[in-house]
């Protein structure tokens, strides 16, 4: 049996964690010293999560511990488990060790995430689109903001800042703006010219080149 002072600490810890995270959080302590596979649970909080109680038998991790080299056992963190009645749990298993490093007990946390997974699935269905990986489209407050956003997009399309763009890059950016309808915005040409450091004549020239390239 586990040392009485260690057990008392684990009882307190289990109760504290269970109260902190609520009724969906089961916290269980298994005794490995007794080597009793039929009755390993010495403390449990919120046992309704898995339907277990003090005196009940082991889980897979307990059986693994009982048949393994106790010093070599590794903690298992944040993995999924399933109860007989279909609940999905997010679980973590910590081995309690003696002074020699051998596992003498198990401290387990099992959090019922069944409802959360159902909600996540519903939310995914609600938020899914035909193009899952597309960037959310900006909703502009006014045409000036819209033009700024289109110009920023044109820079992303080219893939380099304006200072590093050559003529071909700028033609590509202007083509994007033209195809996006940017030049339907009043006085857009002035802002585009200023941004790319080109004249109005050059702008119209680039638009023509872009049209020819498209054809």
Residue 132 is predicted with a pLDDT of 58
Lay out the sheet containing 76-82: strands in order across: 41-45, 25-31, 103-112, 88-97, 76-82
Residue 174 is predicted with a pLDDT of 93
Taking residues 80-86, what's their average pLDDT?
86
CATH class of 4-117: alpha beta
**Above pLDDT 70, what percent of the chain?**
91
Q: What is the mean pLDDT of the chain?
A: 86
Taking residues 63-76, what's their average pLDDT?
80
DSSP for 70-103? Answer: GGG---EEEEEEE-TT--EEEEEEEEEE-TTS-E
CA distances from 40 to 35, 59, 128, 209, 212 (A): 8, 9, 46, 79, 79
**Per-residue pLDDT tens for 131-142?**
655 555 555 466
Cβ neighbours, 10 Å, residue 129 = 8
Q: Nearest Cα to 14, choosing from 107, 77, 105, 81?
A: 107
- The predicted model scores a pTM of 0.60
**Per-residue pLDDT tens for 40-52?**
899 999 999 999 8
* Dihedral sign, Cα of residue 151, residue 153, residue 157, residue 163: positive
Taking residues 143-161, what's their average pLDDT?
90
Task: Give the pLDDT band of residue 68 (cuts 50, 70, 90).
Answer: confident
Task: Give the pLDDT band of residue 3 (cuts 50, 70, 90).
Answer: confident
* Dihedral sign, Cα of residue 131, residue 134, residue 139, residue 145: negative
In sequence order, which residues have a C-beta less than 8 Å from that of residue 54 and are 6 or more positions away? 41, 42, 43, 44
Task: Give the pLDDT band of residue 108 (cuts 50, 70, 90).
Answer: very high
CA distances from 74 to 13, 77, 105, 112, 198 (A): 21, 10, 12, 23, 64
Q: Say whether pLDDT at 192 is over 90.
A: yes
* Domains in the chain: boundaries: 4-117, 143-214
- What angle (nearest 5°) sits at the alpha carbon of residue 160, between those of residues 211 and 163? 95
CA distances from 15 to 21, 43, 59, 98 (A): 10, 9, 20, 22
Torsion over CA of 144, 150, 154 and 156, rounded to 10 degrees? 110
């Amino acid at each position: 049996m586990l040392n009485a002072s260690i057990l008392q600490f684990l009882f307190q810890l289990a109760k504290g964690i269970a109260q902190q995270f609520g009724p969906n959080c089961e916290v269980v302590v298994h005794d490995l010293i007794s080597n009793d596979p039929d009755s390993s649970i010495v403390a449990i909080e919120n046992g309704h999560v898995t339907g277990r109680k003090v005196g009940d038998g082991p889980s897979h991790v307990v059986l693994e511990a009982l048949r393994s080299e106790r010093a070599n056992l590794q903690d298992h963190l944040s993995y999924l488990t399933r109860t007989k009645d279909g609940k999905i749990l997010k679980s973590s298993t910590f081995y309690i060790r003696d002074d020699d490093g051998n596992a003498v007990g198990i401290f387990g946390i099992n959090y019922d995430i069944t409802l959360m997974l159902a909600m996540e699935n519903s939310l995914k269905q609600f938020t899914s689109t035909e193009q899952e990986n597309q960037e959310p489209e900006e909703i502009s407050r006014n045409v000036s903001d819209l033009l700024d956003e289109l110009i920023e997009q044109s820079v992303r399309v080219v893939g380099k800042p304006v200072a590093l763009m050559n003529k071909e890059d700028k033609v590509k950016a202007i083509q994007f703006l033209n195809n996006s309808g940017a030049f339907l915005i009043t006085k857009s040409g002035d802002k585009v010219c200023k941004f790319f450091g080109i004249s109005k004549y050059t702008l119209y020239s680039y638009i023509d080149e872009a049209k020819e390239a498209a054809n």
